[in-house]
Amino acid sequence: MNGASLARNLRMLLPAISLVVLLVAIYALQPRAISYVGFNLMLNLAIPIALATIAQMCVITVNDLDLSIGTYVGFVACVGATMLTGGVAALPFVKDLQASGALPAVLPWIMQTPLAGVLVLAFGIVIYAALGALIHWRNLPSIVVTLGMSFVWLGLSVLILPVPGGQAPAWIRQMMTLKPAFIPFPIIAAIVIAVIAHVLLMRTSYGAVLRGAGGNPRAIERAGWSLLRVKAAMFALAGFFGMLAGLSLVGLTTSGDANIALRYTLLSIAGVILGGGEFVGGRISPVGAVMGAATLTLAGSMLSFMRISPDWQIGAQGAILIVVLAARTLIDRAERSR
């Protein structure tokens, strides 16, 4: 094994090491937390965060950044809590219209079918793909475009659901509260997410092209691939995983709220970096990203076991991020100086 790949393996192991260190620390503080119930409680919220992290990772793969993922997840949650349950009829403003008599008390089936929710969610993914295409076509800075989109998603969420409320579809709620034998659901879910993302990006033949576009776009273009299509595909994937994040989140909280996931934007970026992903160059690790998301979630539990005020939760997340980045820099330096 040469030095470069040794350093790379060490870098790749960093997410796993940080996760294990955290678990050991939690076990030392509160042994009972390492149990079926304990994991259920501690890792529940890791599922949507992991999905959002995978979404962010798709965008980072092609050297862009998505500052709108948080509000997009919130938007999906609002759609999930309304239109995916009761169709257009479940929207608060439609109910207001009914109350004022502008609409009849009993609406036709077409307005009650959850299909409307499915269509809106599909529309979200199409918007994402279009954004990717727009960013490539006009060579726009993704930070600014997605910053604008974060307002757009927030606005749409507030239009759909002006005050927190609504109800998640029963099937999502049931799925999120599954109690499989032996292994807690969040762990199974995390593994499934990691495997799917890994197969999609790391194992398929087009996945290689998608990642290659982050590593050396000119080479991909010279080999005859369309970078426009690659960008659109990656953003569409981000939209898809972001949608899953929103649905799983609303399944846990059971009701929607436009501001429910604002912090996901920063968390998802942190998760990708913690998971061993690099900002540029298409070097990513879906498995690491899921672990990174779990690490960030567990950091909160860890603090409460240490009886430290939850005020410090995000501080701890920031500190972990800095420590891991510092470790990575040290590894790189040690490798280079040899």
**CB nearer other proteins, residue 164 or residue 215:** 215
Ramachandran bin of 224, using left for φ above 0, alpha for ψ from -120 to 50, beta for the remaining angles:
left
What tokens appear for 315 in the block?
């501080």
Tell which residue, 264, 265, 243, 263, has the closest CA to residue 78. Answer: 243
Q: Would you count residue 219 as binding other proteins (CB under 8 A)?
A: yes
Q: Would you count residue 100 as binding other proteins (CB under 8 A)?
A: no
Task: Name beta bridge partners: 256.
Answer: 165
Of 82, 268, 297, 317, the one binding other proteins (CB under 8 A) is 317
d(CA 53, CA 197): 11
**CB nearer other proteins, residue 110 or residue 219:** 219
Of 23, 33, 51, 269, the one binding other proteins (CB under 8 A) is 269
The single-letter code of the amino acid at 207 is: G
What residue ranges in the chain does DSSP mark as E strands? none
Of 222, 307, 337, 338, the one binding other proteins (CB under 8 A) is 222
Q: What is the 3-state secondary structure (H, E, C) of 111-168?
A: HCCCHHHHHHHHHHHHHHHHHHHHHHHCCCCHHHHHHHHHHHHHHHHHHHCCCCECCC
Of 130, 159, 195, 331, the one binding other proteins (CB under 8 A) is 159
d(CA 283, CA 222): 20
Q: Would you count residue 215 as binding other proteins (CB under 8 A)?
A: yes
Of 32, 179, 218, 338, the one binding other proteins (CB under 8 A) is 218
Q: Would you count residue 34 as binding other proteins (CB under 8 A)?
A: no
Pair 24, 243: CB distance under 8 Å = no
Q: Which stretch binds other proteins (CB under 8 A): 17-25, 81-89, 132-140, 236-244?
A: 132-140
Q: Would you count residue 97 as binding other proteins (CB under 8 A)?
A: no
Q: What is the contact surface with other proteins in residues (CB under 8 A)?
A: 2, 4-5, 8, 65, 134, 138-141, 143-145, 147-160, 162, 203, 205-206, 208-209, 211-212, 214-216, 218-220, 222-225, 266, 269-270, 273, 279-283, 309, 311-319, 321-322, 325-326, 329
